Chains A and B, each alone.
Chain A
Amino acid sequence: MSADNLEQKYKPVHTNKTGGSPFTGITGWIDNRLPVIRMFKHEYLDFQVPKSLSYFWSFGGILTICLILLIITGLSLGMHYKPDTKYAFDSVEKIMRDVNFGWLIRYAHMNLASFFFIAVYLHIFRGLYYGSYKEPRQLMWLIGIVIFFLMMATAFLGYTLPWGQMSFWGATVITNLFSAIPFFGESVVTWLWGDYSVGDAALNRFYVLHWLIAFLIVGAVVFHVIALHIVGSNNPSGIEPKDTRDTVSFSPFTTSKDLVGMLVFLLIFVTVMMYAPNYLGHPDNYIPANPLVTPPHIVPEWYFLPFYAILRSIPDKLMGVIAMVSSIAVLGLLPWLDFSKVRSSVFRPIWKQCVFLFVLNFFVLMYIGAAPAEGIYLVIGRIATAFWFAFFFILAPLVSIVEKPLPMPESIHEFENWKKQGKIKTINIFSK
């Protein structure tokens, strides 16, 4: 066989992709070999973003900052914390008393967890209200739900670490939910605990998993953001940008606006952290864990209350657990249950009211979650749980069919003009 024939059999390869950098000098040298500088410029400086974004779109950035701060404060706490039932409570108190500014780091970590959830709830509300889950952003929405599940897991695990009364009893109640699994329930729970009760083995692994899941969240967030940069941001009009009249470049426009949003959020956070650091927590968690004394009311952290209410509204344990998990998972079906072509609630008069009712229902459930599961509370809780699922399975498809959307502008810049002329109403507090 001749050499010519051999060459024809193989396709050329390009394993070496260096070059093509718009930069020169050292920057260019690096960028040619590792094109992150190019990517950063492309995705964060020149990136085109709809110009109509309100402050509701700052929560993505706010959540990123929260996550970074949580990891930094968590890292510092981890250097002093001891995951041992004998020493956990005292080691947290040592941080509060003897570590330089340990009280600040610990209060920051504790309150950031709560503010992370405040921001994520507003972020999800934004998605619901402006239809950010619709084509082509379904996958982003699904990754978001994964992040939310991970957040809940790591927040729960983190809450067990100070080993106070609520830590211990919360851990006992929540891990016991796994015993509802048919046939293997008991074995699964024992496997999770590494023992026959919540104790040293459990605390030690909770600490490890608290760390692990924190970094899994970082990973999921990276995918969430990559997906965002592929499909682009939704905006209050729900209309895709068409030309440069509809967009602004990410920097300095979005960056400056997001910075304002972040600072306002930070201001509220710092005020709460410095003046009411324990307001969002439960006083019982300053009592060291005692397996022999059950607190009169075992309540989870405030951000779990709506889902705790759903769990308790179902009389059967297994069904309750399924209802609780699916109450969040059902969000993932929304892109397909709501098939209206119009994204933004600004043009959807009926859906808009439904979303507000959903929010109202969320707070009702939160109230029920903190109340004892008896009498009238149980009845309200069941109605609210039914509404939660009805919102997705009945209202979403029904409204998609019945609703007649309002007349819509052709483009985002026209939308902006309509807004100026007062033809359409948006949520005011977030549009300054």
Chain B
Amino acid sequence: MKILMHILSFEWKILWRSQTLKVLLLVILGAGLYGIYFGKFEVEKQQARIAEVQAEQRQRFDSLLVWAQLDTTLEANRAKYARALMPSGSDYRTHSNYTVVNTPSATAGLCLGQRDLYPVYYNLNITDFARKVNTGELANPMKLLTGNFDLSYVIVFLLPLLIISLFYNLYSVEKEGGTLPLLRAQTVSLFTLLLGKSIIRLFLIWGVGAILLLLGFLLQGVPLAATESGFFRWLGILLAYTTLWALVMVGVVALRRSSALSAMLGLGLWLVFTLITPALINLSVSAAQPLPNRAEVIHAVRTQNDKNWEMPKSYVLNQFYAAYPEYAEVDTTEFYPWYYATFTVLDQEAQALKAVIDEQVQERNAQMARWEWLAPAAWVHERLAGLCHTDRQSQMAFLKEAQAYHEKIKDFYFARLYEGASITLEDLRKLERGL
């Protein structure tokens, strides 16, 4: 133990005096800071987009509240008044929209994950849900392809490179530097010496990683202690991942090859773990299982829509009553009760098909995830995205939430529409508070 401490203290001196190390540390810190800054910038952009739609939502409510109090003796006011207080709206093409937004989590800026692929909000109304979510967000596909330079990228891709550069010549530097014979003449074993050198490097890496993480949390204003921040989970993953890389490099060093070959081997393994394996998995899955055609859902909706309008009204209403038995007594001759019932039928049709497709997609993703352990970088990135709620699962959860919200909107309107009641000012205020 005493000898190990001795080795540690001297190895630290040697490391600390090397210019290369200082440059490398500066580079990784610079990259980390840029990543943190970039992540913050991207999340702020998402927040700005959310603020934009929320402002519009606010404006809509303000209008509704004003319209609800308009003088209906004036012809010009009637449509607006109806829009605000009639559950069927002013006419069958105009509906009040309600916005549901996917607010980024506190740590979303540390791992931007998959959020850039999906819209941050949906506008929903009393009509169908199926077509409302067929929107995307404007994004340059080139940027989506090259990905985000965030802190998780620095940790998953660049930190291993630092590990490789610190470890590759652990043994060969002694051999090529000529200090090996003298070392071997000492009673201490080469193993102890290399162990000491590895430990000090591992500590250094851990330190760098922890500093980056701390900076990330502090600069993005995430309280460390809060349980939802997941700081300690981040730290745990970081420590495990860097240790894994250190072990890989110890394996490379154990081969006792020249510095040049060890560096190439290390870099080769880096490529295998971060690039080649995930790319091969992606290739095999995309060749073996093409994605199902989601346009089928749109097709199902339009076909159903055609049918709804062609068939006698009972066709729609019977299906509607099955889903909403409480409204089975409504007047079947009126237009609006039938009209809004058609959307429920559309959604049912779309939902059934979507469930099948989602199942297939899920299966395909499970196939990919089954091989994830072969690509530790992908595994770690997926876990970090999970911690920050920026992975695909979180998007799916948001979709579910949006669907539930849509149900609430429908319930609100239907309760009045099918009971023949109108919306009150009080109701509008309730809507404003978020149902």
A binds B: no
Binding site for A on B (CB under 8 A): none
Partner-B contacts on A (CB < 8 A) = none
